[in-house]
Amino acid sequence: MPTAKMLLAEGKIEEARAEASRIADDVTRYIRKRSTVAVERTVLRLLGVDGVDGEGVPVANLMVDQVLKQGKLARGVTRYFIQALAQTGGDVAALCSDVARGDADILSFQTLPEAEIRARGTQLAAAALARIAAQRTQREASLARLSGGQSPLLYVIVATGNIYEDVVQARAAASQGADIIAVIRSTGQSLLDYVPYGATTEGFGGTYATQENFKIMRAALDEIGESLGRYIRLCNYCSGLCMPEIAAMGALERLDVMLNDALYGILFRDINMQRTLVDQSFSRMINAYAGIIINTGEDNYLTTADAVQSAHTVLASQLINEQLAFRSGLPSSQLGLGHAFEMDPEIEDGLLLEWAQALMAREIFPEAPLKYMPPTKHMTGNIFRGHVQDALFNLVGVASGQGIQLLGMMTEAIHTPLIHDRQLALEAARYIFNNARHLGDELMFNPEGKMVARARQVLDEALDLLRDVRSKGLFQAIAEGEFADVKRTLESGKGLRGVVLREQDYFNPLEDALRAALKLDETDAGHVARESEGVNA
């Protein structure tokens, strides 16, 4: 599809990216000096720590809390874990059992020489990355052997609360044509400062994100995919207070797409910005190495702010998110930047404005598998009008070359989608995508018309906002409510207690290994054009 439909000024796009890059540099300098309890728990999990105590508290939490309570987490939990492991026979499972029973404190063991700690840590980190690399290789082999679906990929959700019932619904959706199955998390899981353990059957509005649940759904989708001759992608959510831990679980269990956006957590879940930006940076390194596409949450801005007046905030946030992602090693091909079809359907020529913005996003992020979200805010429960709104959304999606199309449901605002609701949504999308597959290639737009003017206006306003954010800093801009009309401060929100300033001898072998594999420098700066680079896992 030609990429110059909206006749945007290249100079303005470049300037907007440069402003976003400066914003990302400032954030990166701040977060690189810090770690969090979630980052440290993630390291332990990747080094093999698993299991829970008698009350269901994960062993990773127990170990990190032991170190945090003694005020030593700023050196990194790894050194204490390695010392304990080296002096208890080297069996990770046995050490986990001792900690779970309360028979071991990882701070109670003799100090080892620094060189030995780092050598052992480096060895364990290499083994962890090898496990992730094997899953990436398996995904790539499956995509080479099976059909991966045509863009826009059809994305639908399952949300029963019971992982085994989710499997039934996921199989049905795959058989009906879905390319991506997203398992919605149980309400409130993003605010839990631990990851539930094992297979779960009781969730509210969704199913708990656990490593065992990931394993169960991955196996089910692999099985149905083989019978269909298609690789079915699995999506879940590494957002909230356990962002990097869930990213690690997703990497180990071969998830393909994960929601990953600190700004979403700050604005809509009131998670402390220091905490979640540090967590995001590490989680995105894991996603980058695993070949997982991230989805960002800018589409949610338009559920609290007006979709016409605030469209520029979505673009500005996308540009900032892109630059932050580059600094964690993610290439453009793994950036499912979010935007949405959320204008009031009563607006005259609203379709033209939505189409213009979708084309604008496609042209500014030409290599990104953009995630396009359906109407939700103005769905009324009138299923017939809702089906028409979704049809217009699908038409814009295929005509503007979106990457991931999260399908709308005509029963939005009534109940969680039933199997037949998804079937109708998938049938309608396939019908529209097939009949308009190359519509975008056939169209040129009036240089003096409403659509070109709208795209230029949004870019101009986004550039002005980025200049303002760069001058005051992202933290202050968020405090002033520049995004989604929601205000948060540097010291407010959940999870601040879990942030620590790194000491000089801080050691995180997983971060070191990931930075080396992803070819990240010490400052993470200078990655404005990481468009097509990837990593050979």
> Which sequence positions are flagged as catalytic?
264, 299, 371
Strands (E), 201-337: 233-237, 257-259, 293-295, 335-336
Cα separation, 172 vs 169, whole angstroms: 5
Residue 373 carries which DSSP code?
E
Please provide the DSSP assignment of 30-79 as one string: HHTTEEEHHHHHHHHHHTT---B-TTS-BHHHHHHHHHHHTT-GGG-SHH
Nearest of 274, 273, 279 to residue 260 by alpha carbon: 279
Cα separation, 376 vs 373, whole angstroms: 9
Q: Given the DSSP bridges, would you call strands 180-183 and 153-158 parallel, antiparallel or unpaired?
A: parallel
Residue in this structure with the two tokens 């079809």, named with its chain if needed: 341
Q: How far is CA 368 from the centre of its chain?
A: 14
Q: Is 494 helix (H, G, I), strand (E, B) or coil?
A: strand
At 517, list the tokens: 């594999």
Contact status, residue 464 vs residue 470, Cβ threshold 8 Å: no
Secondary structure of 304-372 in HEC code, one letter for each residue: HCCCCCCHHHHHHHHHHHHHHHHCCCCCHHHEECEEECCCCCCCCCHHHHHHHHHHHHHHHCCCCCCEE
By CB atoms closer than 10 A (0-12, 13-18, 19+), residue 32 is: middle
Length of the chain: 537
Please provide the DSSP assignment of 110-159 as one string: PPPPHHHHHHHHHHHHHHHHHHHHHHHHHHHHHHHHSB--PSSEEEEEE-
Nearest of 402, 379, 394 to residue 428 by alpha carbon: 394
Number of H helices, E strands in the chain: 20, 11
Cα separation, 521 vs 112, whole angstroms: 29
By CB atoms closer than 10 A (0-12, 13-18, 19+), residue 90 is: exposed
Q: Is 155 helix (H, G, I), strand (E, B) or coil?
A: strand
